Amino acid sequence: MTDWIKLTETKLQTGATLEDYRDFVERGVYYVDKTWFIREFLKDGNQVVMYTRPRRFGKTLMLSTIKNFVEKEFDRDGNLVDKRPLFEGRKIMDAEPEILDQMGQYPVLSLSLKNCDQPTFDLFSRRFKRIIAAETRRHRDLYDNTFRDENEQKKYQMLMDENLDVYDTADAFSNIIEWTYRATGVKPIILIDEYDTPLQWAHEYGYYDKVLPIMRSMLGAALKTNGNFKKALLTGCLRISKESIFTGFNNPVVHSILTTEVQEYFGFDHQEVREMLHYYELDDEYPEIERWYDGYQFGDNSVFNPYCLVLCIDAILKCKCVEQNGQTLSSFGPYRSYWSNSSGNSIINELIRKHPEYREDVETLLAGGTVEKPIYEFITYRDLDNLPDVIWTFLLYAGYLKAIRTRASDEVLYAELSIVNKEVRSVFSTFIHRFLSENIRSNNLTEFYEDLWDCKSEKVAKYLNKLLVSTISYYDQKESFYHGIMTGILSSIGNIDIKSNRESGNGRPDIILRDYNNARAIVFEFKYSDTLAMMKSDLALAVSQIHDRHYGDELLAEGFELVVGVAIAFFAKRSIVQTMNLSDNG
């Protein structure tokens, strides 16, 4: 038997939350070697390149890896830092001499806009100015004798002090590039991470039109026919259209999840995952890990979400260590949705709430099926409001869906889409439960509640059918789905006690409701029919079960004066109901 405590003490640490390449080396953390991407980037003949991938797929780490390789750095004593120890034993060290000769040779301007995820324009402005100012301060030793006149000196100082307004700050990024080149005589490399985050949050919180010119000014001024930088690399989730922020210069070369170039550098492939599991002696966990975290389709590659995979491995190791001590770490276990908790999921909320016309498509996806939808190469966040079917493009590029295959028709790209994996399916299910609960709470349940006590079967069924039609179902989990609906409805009533799947009489009714204030109770028995034709026979079975197993006897013995039995048969978005007064049998 593996001594899991000893194993975790001798193996390299896992590092799902680390985003700086240097941390992997200095802290002794397991690293899946993606350094060959540095060569791909430096050999790419295009000046501006963009890579779009879903969140949590290593984009930030990749930019850090490039930065640590190419940036010319000095220690506190002014000595040039040797970068080779950082990359010893990595794949990049097998690159040709002209690549290795570029190690530690460039100034680097590195911006991460991921923290521009702010709910107001004022908060965004402060954060944006702070990010630009911080990168300017990082290079302040270069700029002392760089400025041509007092105006440049003043602008630089205002940038450092965050005293420029946000629009001038954006425009000044091109000045920083020029000052860096002027000071070093070497054209800098520009790295911009999550360039589309400001636009995403601005759209969600209603200040999109204010942020749009800022991003257009920064990227346009910096990257339009600018001879002052060597290369630029941008990362994000989506390819934002030229008309939105890239007006004024040619679009960058974009490598999206649908392109086949350099597809292997983001996410972990099957061999990399097997090697990692083998290292931690977790080979037997591969099938379940594959079900949960594999399935993302980048070009021709099927890849795992690295963030969730590493968090899961870490959780498995912790669980095994704790269990070896005869304890339990968590009732949830290591297999769960980590990705859904790492950022907002507003795009799912958008689909479920604002697009009832697509609920049948969502049901198909949740049942394991596929839907074919147009995919737009150039999009803006404003398109979410103006073009309903563009939401499928957002869902694809954000990583909720994958393209099984694509086809072109009349210059339109169509993709056959499916849900990526078990983890993402759970994200959809969570939002559907939330939507269902809110939908229930928005209804006046007083009449429905009284119809139950009055044994008005047809009126109860009418309300349930109306609710079922207006929501989204997922039939691969039909029992929990229908049970969740009924629990949600009854929980919204208030001043009652609800017990689910508790012992009563000679069997187990699905739900027992006790209204102590009025000395009355209801016992529910549900059946889940496989076909429409089976509903009546299943309903009769539920009625017989209530009577034959004497579900009402215990409640009558408890002193309830009125006990009602409710039998319901469900199929798809239909229900039939039979109510009965069990007090008459007492």
Give this prediction's pTM.
Answer: 0.83
User: How confident is the model over 512-516, as a mean pLDDT?
Assistant: 93
Beta pairing partners, 296: 303
Count the neighbouring beta carbons within 10 Å of the beta carbon of residue 88.
Answer: 9
- Tell me what pLDDT residue 384 has: 78
Residue 375 has pLDDT above 60, yes or no: yes
Which CATH code is given to the segment(s) 32-255?
3.40.50
- Tell me what pLDDT residue 505 has: 47
Tokens, residue 145: 């004798």
Residue 248 has pLDDT above 70, yes or no: no
Rg (Cα) of the chain, in Å, rounded?
Answer: 30
341-424, CATH topology level: Arc Repressor Mutant, subunit A (1.10.10)
Phi, psi of 236 (to 5 degrees): -175, -175
Query: What tens digit of pLDDT does each residue of 466-491 get?
Result: 888 877 766 555 677 788 788 878 88
* Residue whose entry in the numeric block shows the structure tokens 């346009």: 220
Residue 342 has pLDDT above 60, yes or no: no
- For the chain, the domains span 4-12+267-336, 32-255, 341-424, 443-585
- Tell me what pLDDT residue 283 has: 96
Tokens, residue 380: 């803006």
- Tell me what pLDDT residue 507 has: 65
Residue 586's pLDDT band (boundaries 50, 70, 90)?
A: very low
- Mean pLDDT for all residues in the chain: 87
- Nearest by Cα to 190 from 220, 232, 227: 232
Query: What tens digit of pLDDT does each residue of 38-89 get?
Result: 999 999 988 999 998 988 899 999 999 999 999 999 988 889 999 999 999 9
- Tell me what pLDDT residue 363 has: 83
Query: What tens digit of pLDDT does each residue of 316-336 get?
Result: 998 888 877 766 655 568 998
Burial of 477 by CB count in 10 Å (0-12 exposed, 13-18 middle, 19+ buried)? middle
DSSP type of residue 389: G
Residue 575's pLDDT band (boundaries 50, 70, 90)?
A: very high
- CA–CA dist 433, 420 (Å, integer): 20
Residue 129 has pLDDT above 70, yes or no: yes
**Least confident window among 18-32, 227-241, 367-381, 424-438:** 424-438
**Least confident window among 188-192, 482-486, 548-552:** 482-486
- From the centroid of its chain, how far is CA 468? 27
Query: What tens digit of pLDDT does each residue of 102-117 get?
Result: 999 999 999 999 999 9
- CA–CA dist 242, 171 (Å, integer): 18
User: How confident is the model over 404-432, as a mean pLDDT?
Assistant: 88
Residue 543's pLDDT band (boundaries 50, 70, 90)?
A: very high
- Tell me what pLDDT residue 351 has: 74
- Tell me what pLDDT residue 251 has: 59
**CA distances from residue 494 to 459, 514, 527 in whole angstroms, order as listed:** 21, 11, 26
Residue 185 has pLDDT above 90, yes or no: yes
**CA distances from residue 158 to 111, 165, 350, 414, 443 in whole angstroms, order as listed:** 19, 9, 40, 49, 56
**CA distances from residue 442 to 407, 435, 467 in whole angstroms, order as listed:** 42, 11, 11
Beta pairing partners, 303: 296
CB 259 within 8 A of CB 73: no
Query: What tens digit of pLDDT does each residue of 255-294 get?
Result: 888 887 777 889 999 999 999 999 999 999 999 999 999 9
Burial of 447 by CB count in 10 Å (0-12 exposed, 13-18 middle, 19+ buried)? exposed
- Tell me what pLDDT residue 524 has: 95
